[in-house]
Amino acid sequence: MFSRRTVVETLASIPLLGAALPVRAGSSKKKKRVPDYLKDLGVKPFINAAGTYTALTASVMPEEVLDAMRYASSHYVHLTKLQDAVGARIATLTGAEAAMVTSGAAGALLVGTAACITGRDPDKIRRIPDLTGMKNEVLVQKRHRYAYDHSVRTTGVRMVEIETAEELERAIGPETVSMHFYCDAEPRGQISAADWTALGKKHGVPTFADAADVLPPVDNLSRYLKLGFDLVCFSGGKGIRGPQSAGLLLGRKDLIEAARLNTSPNSDTIARSNKVNKEEMLGMMVALELYMKRDHAADWREWERRTETIARAVKKVKSVETEVHVPPVANHVPHLKIRWDANVVRVTPLEVKRRLAEGDPAIEACPGTNSRELVFGVWMMQPGDAEIVARRVAGILKSAV
């Protein structure tokens, strides 16, 4: 498939990898039969009518990403050189000063916070999470606390909660390592992203934005950097549709360099176990290239068509009402909410969700489904899925009248 010369030239110019991938169209080779591994294991796949939830394996990678990962799997490279090249390419794409592929957004939170603590100091890198004699406080708005800041706390720091700018000014001191910002919580906090970065710069404290699930819109890839955040992380396996176990960390060159020193392939580091292999690096880079080239307006129209397909079918059932909801920050895509009069349609939303999951094909509705409404996230559906979901839901509701 590749000549020796092609391989050498490609590895010497990683940023051009996308153009060097094998072309699948027109291939005369007979496709090799792939065993039905899930069936053999007794694991039932499903239609994803929920969204990019990690527990539901988030997204499906495009063929070009799989091609890049297969390509990488058949070659040996110096991992740090590949990190250099892929990081440079991602930085160019996003407008960042520097970038790296991480083990998911959670891995980015860990290595990014470690970078703020240790810098490039080898002694500090070896010693954390023992922070004796080091800065050990991360400032965070009270409404920005969430389960994922465990990755921040893994470094040994203490989270210091504040609510107002005045409280932040009083809390900043010689022990302050960084200022953590959860992008989805911006509407709930009292300090905006722009003001957060301004306060960080005023006091010389690095600001770190967790933007794991804020794609789309695609502009968010650069928005938080333009606002002045020193570090920004994204999930790789959600909207970008890269490897589920990969993520992106973008930001200041010195902090990205320090983050890389705190993780694999370097031994005796806090994130040595957070390996990112060559397949994930190339796969993540190609996924990002594809994501930035997509027709995002066309994607949005297709998501609206899917919600309308389901809504039109279920509204034929007496008392059923629908609403399209777009969350303001995270998972900023159309979601369909379905409600009905329980005295007319004698089945609960949670019962419908259960019956869909147990059916054939299985369908997973949003975890946000509750006793009042059935919720679907349509953006991770495959072609034809919306029509199947529409028939199944309408059928269940009709049978309960």
Please determine, for residue 295, whether its predicted confidence score (pLDDT) is greater than 70: yes
Domain count, the chain: 2
The answer as to whether 179 is a domain residue is yes
Q: Are 361 and 286 in the same domain?
A: no
Give the confidence band of 32 by pLDDT, cuts at 50, 70, 90: confident
- Write down which residue in 252, 277, 293 finishes a domain: 293
* pLDDT, tens only, 172-199: 999 999 999 999 999 999 999 999 999 9
The answer as to whether 16 is a domain residue is no
Question: Does residue 265 have a cis peptide bond before it, meaning omega lies within 30 degrees of 0?
Answer: yes
* Burial of residue 61 (number of CB atoms within 10 Å: 0-12, 13-18, 19+): buried
DSSP conformation letters of 253-266:
HHHHHHHHHTBTTS
CA distance 398 to 382: 25
* Burial of residue 374 (number of CB atoms within 10 Å: 0-12, 13-18, 19+): buried
- Write down which residue in 242, 258, 293 finishes a domain: 293
Q: Are 269 and 331 in the same domain?
A: no
Q: Are 135 and 270 in the same domain?
A: yes
Token pair, residue 260, equals 């890389």
Q: Are 135 and 234 in the same domain?
A: yes
Q: What is the pTM of this model?
A: 0.89
Give the residue-averaged pLDDT of 363-375.
97
Residue 189 identity (one-letter amino acid) = G
Please determine, for residue 18, whether its predicted confidence score (pLDDT) is greater than 70: no
Give the residue-averaged pLDDT of 224-239.
97
- Write down which residue in 267, 293, 319 finishes a domain: 293
Give Cβ neighbours of residue 10 (< 8 Å, ≥ 6 apart).
2, 16, 17, 20
pLDDT of amino acid 368: 93
Q: Are 243 and 106 in the same domain?
A: yes
CA distance 109 to 200: 18
Q: Are 101 and 202 in the same domain?
A: yes
pLDDT of amino acid 6: 40
Please determine, for residue 274, whether its predicted confidence score (pLDDT) is greater than 80: yes
pLDDT of amino acid 24: 41
Q: Are 162 and 242 in the same domain?
A: yes
In 3D space, the residue among 113, 384, 148 whose CA is nearest the CA of residue 258 turns out to be 113
Please determine, for residue 21, whether its predicted confidence score (pLDDT) is greater than 60: no
Cβ–Cβ < 8 Å for 341, 302 = no
- The CATH number that applies at residue 81 is 3.40.640.10
Q: Are 319 and 281 in the same domain?
A: no
CA distance 101 to 182: 20
Cα-based distances in Å from 48 to 51, 303, 321, 354: 7, 13, 22, 14
The answer as to whether 368 is a domain residue is yes
CA distance 344 to 153: 50
The answer as to whether 12 is a domain residue is no
The answer as to whether 162 is a domain residue is yes
Range of the domain at 338: 296-399
Q: Are 112 and 214 in the same domain?
A: yes
pLDDT of amino acid 384: 97
Please determine, for residue 14, whether its predicted confidence score (pLDDT) is greater than 50: no
Please determine, for residue 2, whether its predicted confidence score (pLDDT) is greater than 90: no
pLDDT of amino acid 29: 54
Give the residue-averaged pLDDT of 32-58.
94
Give Cβ neighbours of residue 313 (< 8 Å, ≥ 6 apart).
390, 391, 393, 394
Q: Are 242 and 199 in the same domain?
A: yes
- The CATH number that applies at residue 367 is 3.90.1150.110
To the nearest whole percent, how much of the chain has pLDDT over 90? 92
* pLDDT, tens only, 102-152: 999 999 999 999 999 999 999 999 999 999 999 999 999 999 999 999 999
Q: Are 283 and 316 in the same domain?
A: no
Q: Are 127 and 251 in the same domain?
A: yes
Query: Which letter, b or e, does each residue of 291-307 get, where b requires 16 or more Cβ atoms within 10 Å of its Cβ?
Result: beeeeeeeebebbeebb
Give the pairing of strands 231-235 and 207-210: parallel
The answer as to whether 69 is a domain residue is no
The answer as to whether 68 is a domain residue is no
The answer as to whether 182 is a domain residue is yes
CA distance 399 to 396: 5
| 60 backbone dihedrals φ, ψ, rounded to 5° | -110, 130
